[in-house]
Structure 1
């Protein structure tokens, strides 16, 4: 059994498709802050998703990616012996893609989104903390980050509304 902080090797990544997905195409194998690296992977890959899909198609893809993520995280966590192993970063990737989908346009907004998402993912305000601490399966792994994404989007949209109210944007 691996410790939560011990990253599996590249070989593990290719032993099952669930491992490749859950470990974020390899981004979760980073020895340094795999959750942050997974979020950066999401940010870097989102423009490709936008080229391939728009609107409701992209939203449907995100829902499907979440559902697949539940199964992939469940299998990978079981194989690693740790439900929410640090190398499992699909739970950062899919919710951050959702954040970027709802994020106002521009690098400043996306940068704010990145830092807010990482903050909420680390702090885990309720109900994210409940899912992190009590729902010990793939659904819990994915859902606590979905709440971090929801908090991030709420703060971004509130900031956008406030700034536009004062004609600052």
Structure 2
């Protein structure tokens, strides 16, 4: 697809390709507005059963999501002919999963992790903005969300340790 595809063409492309289906967050990235937010909401749904994994197994799964994401996002982007298409949200999955590493139990932490990650992913303070502008390909698509995830993780842990929530 060299020209920008219509929404109908994009849906058809995504549901026919396993690479696009993953990159587009099982279809969540097809949302007509705020696909990153919808992608993160889909990540929350996947996180719900993942939260019960042991910390080492959870971290191993998050690492696998990140490593696989470099290829998935890069390949989907190449196939679409668009660098970092807004509908590619696998990177949001990775960033949210990183945010939630060792998060305390409870819905309020799930919501706070969502809010923190979305804020840092949208605002992109340094070094997130630098990574977004300077690093290209699949790694570039993933890196800004990975950094947003680690910053959100750190802030979530500070809030937890201070007993604020």
Quick check: TM above 0.5? yes
Partner of 1:46: 47
Moved more, 33-42 or 14-23: 14-23
In 2: Cα distance, 1:105 partner to 1:86 partner: 31
Q: Does 1:22 find its partner at 2:57?
A: no
Please report how far the alpha carbon of residue 4 of structure 1 lies from its aligned counterpart in structure 2 after TM superposition. Answer: 9.9
In 2: Cα distance, 1:32 partner to 1:7 partner: 15
In 1: Cα distance, 2:119 partner to 2:63 partner: 23
Gaps of 5+ in 2: none
CA contact (8 A) 2:101 2:153 kept: no
Partner of 1:13: 14
Please report how far the alpha carbon of residue 54 of structure 1 lies from its aligned counterpart in structure 2 after TM superposition. Answer: 2.7
Partner of 2:129: 129
TM-score (norm 2): 0.89
Superposition RMSD in Å: 2.2
Partner of 1:81: 81
CA contact (8 A) 1:91 1:145 kept: yes
Partner of 1:110: 110
In 2: Cα distance, 1:113 partner to 1:4 partner: 33
Partner SS for 1:138: helix
TM-score (norm 1): 0.87
How many residues align structurally?
164
Please report how far the alpha carbon of residue 97 of structure 1 lies from its aligned counterpart in structure 2 after TM superposition. Answer: 1.6
Partner of 1:140: 140
Gaps of 5+ in 1: none
Partner of 1:67: 67
